[in-house]
Structure 1
């Protein structure tokens, strides 16, 4: 079977890379840009580093610091309105995954005469927008989403209480591990597990490829080794470098191979209960690997071996069970909360069944499940991690 693989955009990686933002902007021919961020990143001084670099390069800046968790539609609309009013020719997004998704959504809306509601409707109907987005440089301050290297922006539809992915390709990514040194333990852990889930799902989707597989295995190895270290020593730059690379590689990998049922489930949980996406991803990953081990037993076995397991069985069910249990132990080590800890009942998690059944990503899972089976899987997520 022939598989295609790509590198969506160039990446500048390394400590101090944020200082090259102005240089990259000049290479892209930018004259005036909207710097998209949130108040926390602004207070940490990270967005100012970007503004200083752009100013030194002779590029005008306009600041939009109103991004919120889960990239709500009204925030994206407000940013796009500002971008249009200011006549900017580029977008710079600096922050966590929600900021980057917001920036990507803004880049699309800014060049099209439609509302964010119309954009999300086009995405659901798989209809293209009329004009290409503004050029956009994305700078992550967490090591999780890989959004700086993926074509999708996930935006929260606050009217319908669902998350929708819209096509929004980045132009350039700047990954500076030093920006993550300020992250608290909880954010470090949750974003790390997000990247871990990207790698696991990209390995086990219906359209993996050799390039994605290599990146995924490498990401899993780096996260397994370095995430516990970063969680204990928040200022360990070597750990941050490895996690930043793992996150970026996992993003590049799933941009081709895609994520599947696990993320459909995580999106449903995030939309329903407004809990961090990384927690949702962590909770669903063991169950997803148990499910997909029936199709990819050798891949799931290799995930376990990378994590230090010795698996002698060739039975796919046993392989899936051992790897899933090992990941749950890893989660416990990192203090990932249970659904019970989050005060979410088994009945409440079961209410996500219909959302998952209607989420397009679920069809990229190699095991096609019925609505009844989705309900059972949601129950396993609750029961399996206590």
Structure 2
């Protein structure tokens, strides 16, 4: 066990309704010209225009890159970086989900350090220069990227999701305005909400968890488990949206410092090879991976269970751990989470690439943080289990 701990997070977090209106003031305190990085959906629903309006009130100049897709790639980074250099921007503003924020973080750090984002995978090379200031403004309650030291970018040449985790990637400012999440569609609310829950649970059971991250993780779990259904069923429920936004942010701080585990390790290859959105691929895996992990995380899962349901206080740790997994399965059912088969992934295609997927999962390093560390063969079998995992069945998996 480490003799000391550290907690890394943005220099400033603005939270609450209408906090987005402060983006112009924040930008003007950090630089002279901004690059807004966003996507076509954010542009269509007016969030990009609102950002421009706030910047104009401060007479702050800006350029725009709106080409980010549902999964950020090295091509997005290259295109946005070219604009950043051409326009001589010295502040980057991300408006959108995790894809936009991850792209912005990659652009900002490469603008300062040079090279390509792929140069820094696996900490094979460290950043020597500070990133440009990043103002991260999430429009979903899910990824936690607005407060994390992580960016995940797809290498389009290798079909690998590159995860880079270094302190220089932490945004300078996070603006968490729950009003921006009200327009989030039901399916996206479900997927990003489960992503946030994965961050919270994984950071709590991670072998790298510590007392401070536990505080953030437990608060995140309580907020998310108590409000995700409400936000899903009624997107205009502002109280639920607020608690989901803060739960996602807290989970982001937790996993950025304690790391994620097996769910995320296995999730990235699904997204890279089958183009499944990150939150969905996490949700496909969470119940099955928790079943696999349970034997080595009974006490921690029981602590989670007693946090979300005090009525389980009299049950044994083993019983509460089982109840937690059943509760998460029920949540995924209520949110209409698909498995890989119902999503449309072809079984023959999966069989062809599953060994690479397992190798890529292990190479990410995340599975090493899991309480039960899997072998390559166990990950292959777990992919097959999760392929047609039945959320309606109480039958326990066996590997």
Q: TM-score range by the shorter chain?
A: over 0.9
Contact 1:196 1:223 survives alignment (8 Å): yes
Please name the residue that 1:201 is paired with.
Answer: 202
- Give the structure 2 partner of residue 139 of structure 1: 137
> Considering only aligned residues, what root-mean-square deviation do their CA atoms show, in Å?
1.9
Cα distance in structure 2, aligned partners of 1:21 and 1:142 = 17
Indicate the residue corresponding to 2:191 in structure 1. Answer: 190
Other structure's SS at 2:143 match:
coil
1:169-201 per-residue CA deviation (whole Å, 9 max, x = no partner) reads 211100000001111100011100000000010
CA offset at residue 361 of structure 1? Answer: 1.6
Give the deviation of 1:319 after TM superposition: 4.9
Say if 1:189 and 1:69 are closer, same or farther in 2 by CA, change over 3 A: same
Q: Deviations over 1:354-373 (max 9, x none)?
A: 32233222222232221111
Question: Is 1:268 paired with 2:269?
Answer: yes
- What are the within-5 Å matches in structure 2 for residues 104-253 of structure 1? 104-114=105-115, 116=116, 119-124=117-122, 126-166=124-164, 167=166, 168-253=169-254
Q: How does 1:293-372 map to 2 (within 5 A)?
A: 293-308=294-309, 310=312, 314=316, 316=318, 319-345=320-346, 348-349=349-350, 351=354, 352-372=357-377
Q: Distance in 2 between matches of 1:84 and 1:369?
A: 43
Contact 2:184 2:235 in 1 (8 A): yes
Aligned to 1:59: 60
1:291-342 residue CA offsets vs partner (Å, 9 max, x unmatched): 33333322201223344373765464x5544322221111101111122211
Change (3 A) 1:33 1:233: same
Aligned length: 381
SS of the residue 1:63 aligns to:
strand
Correspondence for 2:288: 287
For residues 186-244 of structure 1, give each alpha carbon's deviation from its aligned partner in whole angstroms, at most 9, with x where no partner exists: 00111000000000100111110112112212211211121111111111111110100
TM-score by length of 2: 0.90
Any gaps of 5 or more consecutive residues in structure 2?
Answer: 392-399
How far off is 1:346 after superposition? 5.2
**What is the rounded CA distance, in whole Å, between the counterparts of 1:374 and 1:329 in structure 2?**
24
Taking structure 1 as the reference length, the TM-score comes to 0.93
For the Cα contact (< 8 Å) 2:147–2:252, is it kept in 1? yes
